[in-house]
């Protein structure tokens, strides 16, 4: 009897365990199905593509992981801005005026937009209305965002000149637009090539304009090539924009970094282009304070209205203290606008020897750099070093990613892969190059030279 009862209990226990297991499996299936449904429901919206990791996110992490001795990747100075600029912010932080710590006018701090009008009105040959034709934004990045999202509608085509700052493509797609790409290409592979040797094909450019074209994005001085578009090149673009009734967004954040004898020409000043041009600037580039994230756009009031609608519904207003500090900094420069000491002009003189030093260093160590006419980047062909560096341990699709990662690990110098600045169909055009930034301390540029020589000697 005891044995029978034991067997019965064992059978019941086994059936119970089996039932529990089946129930658990059913719950697990339901949970997995629910999770899959939730994952699908909460996926990244299709307009954002696959959400690829930004080159900046990836390379900042690379720098953190491998700690290269010199970071010539990201485009920012590693030394202080002019003293009057940083002093302005310090004074504001300890000011007795409590309103400087509170919200300011949404479309731009009054003192700042008035000073921006004083700076740009003489440069474009017309009086800018500070309250209707100027918008202060969270860096030039947000100025681009407001310009693109404010004007590009679903199905609109936007012409983008490659290489391009990587957010252009993403923002166009966010707006439902369709980017159309055309690449600047070098006329020659000679030594001592300058950024002026990178040109657009006129027929190819003309062929991109259709009745669906809403906008063309221009960047001059250009990042990463340093190209300063000539008057003739700008006239070609302007004439096509006028012929096809197309807006021009002109990204001019490097406007003060132009090396003689080159001249920066604002496309808005060309005949009949003011009416169709949105120009973008940056305090971060103008005063070497990229972390302040203050930018602006100026254009006719009817075009500006669209930017204002986007801005007021995402950023609304930018930090009052930094806007006030930029405003005061402009007042200092306006007071000496015709003097060589004006930072608008002294900055390029300060950068020129840095540019020339890094160009020479790169040449002496196997690179073939393009000498930039503006900006603070150098794009250099690295393929002569191909036999000295084994890229097989790097898994990236494009050669410039593999090269810059392996080079940072071996030589201790971080650069940026230019294929990040091309559309998918044209990324191969950037694979043979690396981008270096030279707005760095002289001792860090000297260290770069030492590191490159040491690396070369070890090969």
Please give the mean pLDDT across all residues of the chain: 92
> Measuring CA to CA, which residue among 193, 200, 197, 198 is closest to residue 216?
200
pLDDT at 161 over 50: yes
305 and 391, same domain (yes or no): no
Per cent of the chain over pLDDT 70 is 91
In the structure, what pLDDT confidence band is assigned to residue 21 with cuts at 50, 70 and 90? low
Residue 177 within a domain: yes
Residue 280 within a domain: yes
pLDDT at 260 over 90: yes
222 and 150, same domain (yes or no): yes
Residue 28 within a domain: no
Alpha-carbon dihedral sign for residues 211, 213, 215, 217: negative
Residue 354 or residue 42, greater confidence:
354
Residue 110 within a domain: yes
Of the residues 335, 366, 399, the one at which a domain ends: 335
In the structure, what pLDDT confidence band is assigned to residue 8 with cuts at 50, 70 and 90? very low
Concatenated DSSP letters of 167-223: HHHHHHHHTT-EEEEEE-EES---TT-BGGGEE--HHHHHHH--TTEEEEEEESS-T
Residue 43 within a domain: no
Q: What is the largest CA-CA distance in the chain?
A: 113
d(CA 149, CA 313) in angstroms, rounded, equals 12
> pLDDT, tens digit, for every residue of 311-327?
999 999 999 999 999 99
Q: For residue 389, give Cα distances in angstroms to 215, 399, 456.
A: 42, 12, 10
pLDDT at 50 over 90: no
Q: In CATH, what number is assigned to the domain containing residue 171?
A: 3.40.640.10
pLDDT of residue 43: 83
Residue 38 or residue 130, greater confidence:
130
Residue 178 within a domain: yes
pLDDT at 300 over 80: yes
281 and 364, same domain (yes or no): no
101 and 63, same domain (yes or no): no
> pLDDT, tens digit, for every residue of 247-259?
999 999 999 999 9
pLDDT of residue 46: 81
Residue 129 or residue 30, greater confidence:
129
d(CA 414, CA 55) in angstroms, rounded, equals 13
pLDDT at 34 over 90: no
pLDDT at 341 over 90: yes
pLDDT at 7 over 60: no
Backbone angles phi, psi at 46, to 5 degrees: -60, -30
Residues constituting the chain: 459
Of the residues 304, 335, 366, the one at which a domain ends: 335
Structural domain of residue 315, as residue ranges? 83-335
Residue 27 within a domain: no
188 and 124, same domain (yes or no): yes
> pLDDT, tens digit, for every residue of 107-117?
999 999 999 99
In the structure, what pLDDT confidence band is assigned to residue 55 with cuts at 50, 70 and 90? very high
416 and 325, same domain (yes or no): no
pLDDT at 6 over 70: no
Tokens for 446, please give them.
């000297």
pLDDT at 347 over 70: yes
Q: What is the mean pLDDT of residues 272-289?
A: 98
Q: What is the mean pLDDT of residues 394-406?
A: 96
Of the residues 310, 335, 360, the one at which a domain ends: 335
66 and 97, same domain (yes or no): no
Cβ proximity of 188 and 335 under 8 Å: no
In the structure, what pLDDT confidence band is assigned to residue 2 with cuts at 50, 70 and 90? very low
Concatenated DSSP letters of 3-47: HHHHHHHHHHHHHHHHHHHHHHHHHHHHHHHHHHHHHHHTSPPGG
Alpha-carbon dihedral sign for residues 78, 229, 208, 370: negative
pLDDT at 331 over 50: yes
217 and 102, same domain (yes or no): yes
Other residues' Cβ atoms within 10 Å of the Cβ of residue 41: 7
pLDDT of residue 191: 80
211 and 95, same domain (yes or no): yes
In the structure, what pLDDT confidence band is assigned to residue 17 with cuts at 50, 70 and 90? low
179 and 260, same domain (yes or no): yes
What is the distance, to the nearest Å, from the Cα of residue 224 to the centroid of all Cα atoms in its chain? 10
274 and 298, same domain (yes or no): yes
d(CA 359, CA 355) in angstroms, rounded, equals 6
Residue 287 within a domain: yes
Q: In CATH, what number is assigned to the domain containing residue 394?
A: 3.90.1150.10
pLDDT at 192 over 90: no
303 and 379, same domain (yes or no): no
Residue 57 or residue 33, greater confidence:
57
pLDDT of residue 189: 73
In the structure, what pLDDT confidence band is assigned to residue 459 with cuts at 50, 70 and 90? confident
Number of domains in the chain: 2
């Amino acid at each position: 009897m005891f044995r029978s009862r034991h067997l019965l209990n064992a059978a019941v226990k086994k059936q119970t365990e089996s039932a529990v297991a089946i129930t658990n499996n059913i719950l697990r299936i339901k949970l997995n199905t629910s999770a899959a449904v939730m994952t699908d429901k909460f996926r990244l919206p299709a307009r954002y593509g696959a959400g690829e990791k930004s080159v900046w996110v990836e390379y900042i992490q690379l720098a953190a992981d491998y700690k290269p001795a010199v970071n010539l990747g990201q485009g920012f100075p590693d030394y202080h801005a002019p003293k009057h600029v940083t002093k302005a912010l310090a004074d504001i932080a300890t000011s007795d005026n409590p309103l400087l710590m509170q919200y300011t006018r949404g479309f731009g701090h009054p003192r700042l937009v008035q000073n921006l009008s004083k700076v740009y009105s003489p440069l474009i040959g017309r009086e800018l209305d500070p309250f209707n034709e100027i918008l202060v934004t969270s860096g030039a990045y947000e100025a681009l965002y407001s310009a693109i999202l404010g004007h590009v509608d679903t199905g609109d085509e936007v012409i983008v000149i490659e290489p391009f700052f990587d957010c252009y493509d993403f923002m166009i797609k966010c707006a439902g637009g369709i980017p159309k790409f055309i690449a600047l290409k070098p006329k020659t592979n000679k030594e001592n090539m300058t950024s002026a040797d990178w040109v657009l094909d006129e027929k190819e450019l003309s062929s991109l304009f259709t009745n669906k074209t809403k906008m063309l994005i221009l960047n001059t001085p250009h990042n990463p090539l340093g190209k300063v578009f000539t008057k003739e090149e700008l006239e070609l673009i302007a004439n096509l924009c006028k012929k096809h009734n197309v807006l021009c967004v002109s990204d001019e954040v490097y406007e003060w970094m132009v090396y003689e004898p080159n001249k920066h020409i604002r496309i808005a000043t060309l005949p009949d282009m003011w009416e169709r041009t949105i120009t973008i600037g940056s305090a971060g580039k103008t005063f070497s304070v990229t972390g302040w994230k203050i930018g602006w756009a100026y254009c006719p009031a009817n075009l500006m209205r669209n930017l204002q609608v986007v801005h007021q519904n995402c950023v609304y207003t930018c930090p009052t203290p930094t806007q006030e500090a930029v405003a005061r900094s402009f007042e200092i420069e306006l007071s000496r606008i015709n003097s060589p000491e004006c930072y608008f002009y002294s900055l390029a003189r300060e950068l020129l020897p840095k540019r020339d030093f890094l160009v020479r260093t790169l040449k002496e160590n196997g690179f073939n750099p393009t000498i930039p006419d503006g900006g603070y980047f150098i794009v250099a062909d690295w393929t002569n070093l191909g036999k000295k560096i084994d890229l097989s341990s790097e898994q990236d699709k494009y050669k410039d990613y593999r090269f810059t990662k392996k080079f940072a690990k071996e030589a201790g110098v971080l650069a940026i892969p230019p294929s990040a600045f091309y559309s998918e169909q044209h990324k191969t055009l950037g694979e043979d190059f690396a981008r270096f930034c030279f707005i760095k301390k002289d001792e860090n540029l000297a260290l770069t030279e030492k590191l490159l020589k040491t690396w070369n000697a070890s090969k």
